[in-house]
Chains A and B, each alone.
Chain A
Amino acid sequence: MDFEDLFQRLYPSLYRYLHRLTGDADVAEDIAQESFVRLLKQPLPEEEVRPWLFTVAMNLVRDRARKNERRQRLLSGAPPLVTGITLPDDHVEQNERIVAVRAALEKLSDRDRQLLLMREEGFKYEEIAGVIGVAPASVGTLIARALRRFVDVYRAQGLVG
């Protein structure tokens, strides 16, 4: 598999995942790039590349969170920050919705957030289990509960609909 093809295919998914996870476009960009640089140094069978990339990216997110207090706030349920997004004043409602989404995401545990976001990227349950470090048989239950937690918080903010 050509690296170029892998990059075109996997980068959008990894970047989207990281941006959703951290709420920071710059962090998502940095970590996605670093993950691909590391991939270049460690060729893998094609079927292993995607889970490997997400695992590396998650480790980088954790490293950054440990080293950087601000990042730690982002990952531990502190008030939501919306970065990299500029909205005109007349789009206040849209902005509120974005803040509501981020707030609901931040209310989830790191594990639940990762589970739901990996599911959104189309990972198989076995792959999610491998990256997150849980039993494959428990993934469905964990996803269902995390989904309910998310919508409970999201709907409670009164912006849905």
Chain B
Amino acid sequence: MNHVAEGTLISYLDGALPLQERTEVDRHLDSCSACAFEADELRLAAREFSSALALIDMPIPLLKARAGVEHAMAGTRAVDLSPWRGARRVPAFLKAAAVVLLVAGGASAAIPGTPLNRLVVQIADLASRLVSDDPEPGPVVAVPEQQAPGAATEWGVAPANNRIRISIRGMSDGLHMTVRLVDDTGATVRASASQEIPSAKGGGGVLEISNVTSELIVEIPRAVNRATIEVNGVPYFTKNGQDVRILQAATEAAEDEYVFTARS
């Protein structure tokens, strides 16, 4: 066998050669140091290229993009989406608004299954828009930064078909997330990009997720009545009927007491 062409070598390294040709290249590389050197050079170049690309990569804006596609399609009312979604039209975006709620210090709420001593929130009426059937297209609900130290740092909520989609960034190896579904329904949990989290069914079930380091997306059916998402035992998301809240730790919280501000 003559020396192996560089195109064949990279095909060999990429596993793109038919079995017979691959076997021939294998044999040749065992006996030809020049080609083995070339193969090593190409392997190194490919590895260097991959490493270089990793330097310029940015987080994938999956949640924002999904909402953007949904929003764009919501304005295209004449399009028949039946091949993708059965006979349904694109569900219109749920009208939403972002409101920051202040810590009131008065109202308390108990979250099932959490170690909270006290949850201080003031309730806003517009959270219900996330779970309403308002057919009018509207903007995405995007909740800005979560400031609690050491926990997932960025949370976002957006409607998606018949689900509520919660996007969490800033998870790390030491964080443990618990999704609790109080009602008999299901939740689908996905990690964007590299990690795949298996789905789990509810029925009062608990879904445990650990060591997720990429953007994590938790989807909860709108039909579920009560649900919570906790990080290391601290609730960050609650749904109780029509009331959907992202909770933000308040800076003035006393030691051994959790005090939250609700955002919706």
Contact = CB atoms under 8 A, between A and B. Distances in A.
A8 to B, nearest CB: 6
B211 interface: no
B56 A7 contact: no
B66 A11 contact: yes
Given A141-B7, A143-B7, A20 B16 contact: no
Contact of A19 (B5, B16, B57): B57
B79 A41 contact: yes
B42 A32 contact: no
A132 interface: no
Contact of B57 (A7, A8, A16, A139): A16
A52 interface: no
**Interface of chain A: mostly helix, strand, loop or mixed:** helix
Interface stretch (A55-63, A65-73, A117-125): A117-125
Nearest to B217: A8
A108 to B, nearest CB: 11
A116 interface: yes
Contacts of B79: 40-41
B16 A98 contact: no
Interface string A1-43: 0111001100110011001100101000100111011001101
A151 B45 contact: yes
Q: What is the interface residue range for chain A against chain B?
A: 35 or more
A34 B84 CA distance: 17
Nearest to B5: A141
A158 interface: no
Contacts of A125: 11, 14, 16
B24 interface: no
Given A20-B53, A32-B65, A147-B45, A140 B73 contact: no
A140 B11 contact: yes
Given A25-B58, A141-B5, A33 B48 contact: no
Contacts of B193: 12
Given A33-B65, A140-B8, A147-B46, A102 B72 contact: no
A85 B59 CA distance: 11
A156 interface: no
Contact of B61 (A29, A43, A145): A29
Given A15-B61, A19-B58, A36-B69, A140 B16 contact: yes
B253 interface: no
Contacts of A147: 10, 42, 45-46, 49
B80 to A, nearest CB: 9
B69 to A, nearest CB: 5
Nearest to B6: A144
A116 B65 contact: no
B10 A98 contact: no
A10 B90 CA distance: 20
Most B-side CB within 10 Å, residue of A43, A100, A151: A151
A34 B71 CA distance: 11
Interface of B: 5-11, 14, 16, 42, 45-46, 48-50, 52-53, 55-58, 60-62, 64-66, 68-69, 72-73, 76, 79, 81, 83-85, 160-161, 190, 192-193
17 contacts: A3-B85, A4-B160, A7-B69, A8-B192, A11-B66, A15-B60, A20-B53, A29-B65, A97-B55, A138-B7, A140-B7, A140-B9, A144-B6, A144-B10, A147-B49, A148-B45, A150-B45
Closest 7 CB pairs of A and B: A141-B7, A140-B7, A43-B83, A144-B6, A140-B11, A3-B84, A144-B10
